[in-house]
Amino acid sequence: MKKVILASALVFGIFAAQATPVIAHNNNIVTVQQEEFTEVPVDQVPQEVSDALSRDFEGATISKAYTNEAKEYKLEISMNGEENVLFADKDGNWIQK
């Protein structure tokens, strides 16, 4: 009888030890590099970008323009009394940022 109780306790202990959850620590660090945009005069924005703006956002005007080394443009626009920010490449294609 003692052996049956001891054996069942031993089996229970083995299964209980396997049921213990494993806690994994995620120590990954994500570094985001912020792109450097420098302000440029609005009249230096490429014609393709200006054409895309007037085509896709009728009535919008460029308040400020910025560019980076990759010739991507950050445009602060005013449209219907609201301020928005758009990103485009030098060919007038819109970029999601």
Residue 96 lies in a domain: no
Residue 44 lies in a domain: yes
Instruction: Answer yes or no: is pLDDT of 25 > 80.
Output: no
Residue 94 lies in a domain: no
Identify the domain containing residue 27 by its residue range. 2-89
Q: What is the pTM of this model?
A: 0.63
Please tell me which residue, 28 or 65, carries the higher pLDDT value: 65
Residue 72 lies in a domain: yes
Place 77 in a pLDDT band, splitting at 50, 70 and 90: very high
pLDDT at 20: 60
Residue-by-residue DSSP string for 10-32: HHHHHHHHHTSPPPPP-------
Q: Are 76 and 85 in contact (CB under 8 A)?
A: yes
Residue partners of 70: CB distance under 8 A and separation at least 6: 89
Residue 95 lies in a domain: no
Q: Are 77 and 84 in contact (CB under 8 A)?
A: yes
Residue partners of 9: CB distance under 8 A and separation at least 6: none
Instruction: Answer yes or no: is pLDDT of 19 > 60.
Output: no
Number of domain units in the chain:
1
Residue 36 lies in a domain: yes
Mean pLDDT, the chain, rounded, equals 84
Give the DSSP letter of residue 81. Answer: T
Count of CB atoms situated within 10 Å of the CB of 38: 9
Instruction: Answer yes or no: is pLDDT of 73 > 70.
Output: yes
